[in-house]
Chain A
C-alpha cells in the first residue's frame, strides 16, 4: 500500500495544477471571485499530497528509495522513445518545496493582485507553471525534462509579461525567453550527443551507458557542458544572468515563486540530477561559472537601489553558490541550499511585495504616481509600521547572511566546506573558495543594507509614513510561515545542533558516486568536506559578521559615509550600479551586429532570392500551367472526354430506332432469332 502512493500521488500532484489551468483559462472569468478558489483548491490539495508523501518518505527512512514508471511515447519501427516518472527522496522534497511555495504564492496573490484586470488569467498561468515545474521534478529522462523545461519557460514569459501594457514588462518577458533559448540550445545539443551515444533519454540508462564507457572523454565533457548550458540559462548564471533582474517586472509573488524559489532552481536541479555523468573538466567549468556568478552578482547587488533588484541579484548570487557546490562535488549540499534558499528567498520576496504593496497604497493616497514604490531611497523607518513583515524578513535575512541558528548557515557552510576541501586537494583552484567567502561577506553586507534602508533610520518620505500599514493576513500568513522555516531546526530534526547539517536531510539525501572514471568517490568528497568543515565554518561566521558590521557601521552608525565611498571609488560604483554595463555591451556587440547581419540577410532574401528565384519560378510555373491548361482543354476535354460522350449519344440514336413499341415487331424479332438459332444449331 505504502509502495504505491508515491507514483499515484505524484501523478495527481502533476495534473491537478494543469486541471486548474484549464478551468481558469476557459471559465475563470465567469466563476465567482474570478475562480481563484479553484486554483487555490487544486494547489493546496497538491500541498496536502506532497506533505503526505514527505511524511511517508520520513517514515520509510530509506536513502536508496527509488521508484519509476514509464510508458512508450513514440514507437516507429526500431525507434522508440519512452517517457516516464521517477520518484526518489530528492523528488519528494522538491515536490514539497514547489507545492508549499506555490500555495503561499496563490494565497499571497489574492491580495497583491486584488482588482487586477487579468486576475483569473494570472491564476491560470500560475497553475500552468506549477504543472510544468512538477513535470521537471518528476521527469525520469532528459526528453520529458526538456519539454517541461520549455513549458516552464513559456509560463515564465507569460507571467513576467503579466502587465504587458508596460513596455518594460513586455521587453523583460521577451528578454527572459530569448536568453533562456541560448542556454536551451546547449541543453538540446547535450541531449542529442548523449542520445546518439547511448540511445536512450532515461537517467538510469544514461548512467549505465556512461559507466560502461559508451560515451567518454571529450564528447562526454561536451555533452555535460551542453546540459549545463541549459542550467545556466534557467538558473541565470553568468553570462546568461541578464534576464533575471529584468524579470522583476512581473508581479512580486511571481518573482517569489519562479524567480527565487522554484523555476530558477530548475537549473540547479538538473545539475544535481546529471552530476554523476559530469567529467572532471566539465565540473571545473561548472564550478568556475558558479563561483564567479556568486561573487559577480553579489557585487552588483551592493549598489542597487530598487528593493527587488537587490533581491534579484542576490538570487543570482545564491544560485551561483549552488552551481559552485555541484562543480566542487558536494551536490547534495547544492540541493540542501536549494531547499533552504527556496524558503528564505521566497519569504524575502513576499516581504518586499508586502512593502511595495504598502508603499503603493500610501502613494496612491497622496495621489503621487511619480515616486517609484520600489526604490529604497523612498523608504526607511518602516520597522514599527510593518512589524510582521519586518521580523519575518529579518529572519530570512539572517538566514541568507549565514548567521548560525538559521537555515542558510547550514547549507552555505556545507557548500563552503566542499569548496574549501576542493581547493585543498587542487591548490591551483584556490580562487573558488575565495569567490565563495567574498560573496558571503558581500551577501551579509547588501542584505543588511537593504534591511537598514527599508526598515530602520528616519523615514525618507515622512509625509507617507502614516499611510504605511501592515499588509492583510493573506500576505502576512505566508510571511510568518516561511519566516519560521528560516530557522535551522526544520532541517536538522531529529537532532538539535545548530552547527551541523546532520539531520533528516543528510540521512535521506546521500550522494552517489560519479559514474565517470577519474572523479573522486562520494565518500572521498564527503571526508574532505568533513575535514574542511570547521575551518569553513569559522571563516564563514567571520565574514558574515564582518559584512553585517560594515553594513551597520555605514547605514546605522553613520561611521562611514556611503556617499564618501561612492565618490572615492566612483568608477567601481558606476560599474556595479550599471551592472557592469552588460546589457549595454550585449546590445553593442551582440544584438546590434546580429541586427545588421539580419538586415543584410533580409536584403539578400528580398532583393535576390525573392525577386529572381522565387518570382522567376512563379513566372515559369505560370507559363507552364498555361500550356498544360491549353492542352488539357483542347485535347483532353474536347477530344477524349467530350468525344466519349458524343460516341455514346451516336450509338444511342442509332439503336433507338429498333424500339418501335409495336408488339408484333418484337414477336417477329423473337421468332426470327429462334429460327436463326435453329439454323445455326443444325449445322
Chain B
C-alpha cells in the first residue's frame, strides 16, 4: 500500500504545481502548460488506482482517453492563443478582456 501512497504523493505534487502555474502565470501558453500538468496528475491517479485496486486495465483506458482529450484541448487552446495574439498582439490572458464591458 505504501507504493500507492507514493504515486498519490507524486500526483498531488504535480497537481499543485499545475494549479500554481494556472493561477499565477499571465502567459497564455504557461497557463496551458499548467493545465497539462493537472491532467497528467489525474492520469497518474487513474493508472495507480487501477493497478493497485485490481481493476484490470480500466484506468489505463481512461488515461489514454484523457491524453487524447488533452491533445485536442491543446490544439484548440493554442489556436485560440494564436488568435488572441493576432488580434491583441499579446498572449497575456488578462489583456483578453473585451467581453468584460
Taking a contact as CB atoms under 8 Å apart, the answer to whether B100 and A663 are in contact is no
- For chain A residues 657-672, which have a beta carbon within 8 Å of chain B? 659, 661-664, 667-668, 671
Taking a contact as CB atoms under 8 Å apart, the answer to whether B19 and A663 are in contact is no
Nearest-CB distance from A663 to chain B (Å)?
A: 5
- Inter-chain contact total with CB atoms closer than 8 Å: 19
Which A residues lie at the B interface, using CB under 8 A?
A: 659, 661-664, 667-668, 671
CA distance A662 to B31 in the complex (A): 13
Which secondary structure dominates where chain B touches chain A?
Answer: helix
Taking a contact as CB atoms under 8 Å apart, the answer to whether A661 and B97 are in contact is yes
CA distance A614 to B75 in the complex (A): 85
Q: Which residue of B lies closest to A665 (CB)?
A: B23
Taking a contact as CB atoms under 8 Å apart, the answer to whether A662 and B94 are in contact is yes
CA distance A61 to B28 in the complex (A): 110
19 contacts between A and B (CB under 8 A): A659-B100, A661-B94, A661-B97, A661-B100, A662-B94, A663-B31, A663-B93, A663-B94, A664-B22, A664-B23, A664-B24, A664-B26, A664-B94, A667-B19, A667-B22, A667-B23, A668-B23, A671-B19, A671-B23
Q: Which residue of B lies closest to A668 (CB)?
A: B23
B interface size (C-beta, 8 A): 10
Q: Which residue of A lies closest to B101 (CB)?
A: A661
Q: Which residue of B lies closest to A671 (CB)?
A: B19
Nearest-CB distance from B93 to chain A (Å)?
A: 5
With a cutoff of 8 Å between Cβ atoms, the chain B residues found around residue A668 in the complex are: 23
Q: Which residue of A lies closest to B24 (CB)?
A: A664
With a cutoff of 8 Å between Cβ atoms, the chain A residues found around residue B93 in the complex are: 663
Nearest-CB distance from B85 to chain A (Å)?
A: 16
- For chain B residues 28-80, which have a beta carbon within 8 Å of chain A? 31
Q: Which residue of A lies closest to B31 (CB)?
A: A663
CA distance A441 to B9 in the complex (A): 140
Q: Which residue of B lies closest to A659 (CB)?
A: B100
CA distance A664 to B26 in the complex (A): 8
With a cutoff of 8 Å between Cβ atoms, the chain B residues found around residue A662 in the complex are: 94
With a cutoff of 8 Å between Cβ atoms, the chain B residues found around residue A659 in the complex are: 100
User: Digit string of B7-27 for contact with A (CB within 8 Å is 1, else 0)?
Assistant: 000000000000100111010
8 nearest interchain CB pairs?
A: A661-B100, A661-B97, A663-B93, A664-B23, A667-B23, A662-B94, A667-B22, A668-B23
Q: Which residue of B lies closest to A663 (CB)?
A: B93
CA distance A663 to B19 in the complex (A): 13
CA distance A659 to B94 in the complex (A): 13
CA distance A225 to B5 in the complex (A): 116
Nearest-CB distance from B29 to chain A (Å)?
A: 14
CA distance A663 to B23 in the complex (A): 8
With a cutoff of 8 Å between Cβ atoms, the chain A residues found around residue B22 in the complex are: 664, 667
Nearest-CB distance from B41 to chain A (Å)?
A: 14
With a cutoff of 8 Å between Cβ atoms, the chain B residues found around residue A661 in the complex are: 94, 97, 100
CA distance A671 to B100 in the complex (A): 22
CA distance A671 to B93 in the complex (A): 19
CA distance A668 to B97 in the complex (A): 18
CA distance A667 to B22 in the complex (A): 8
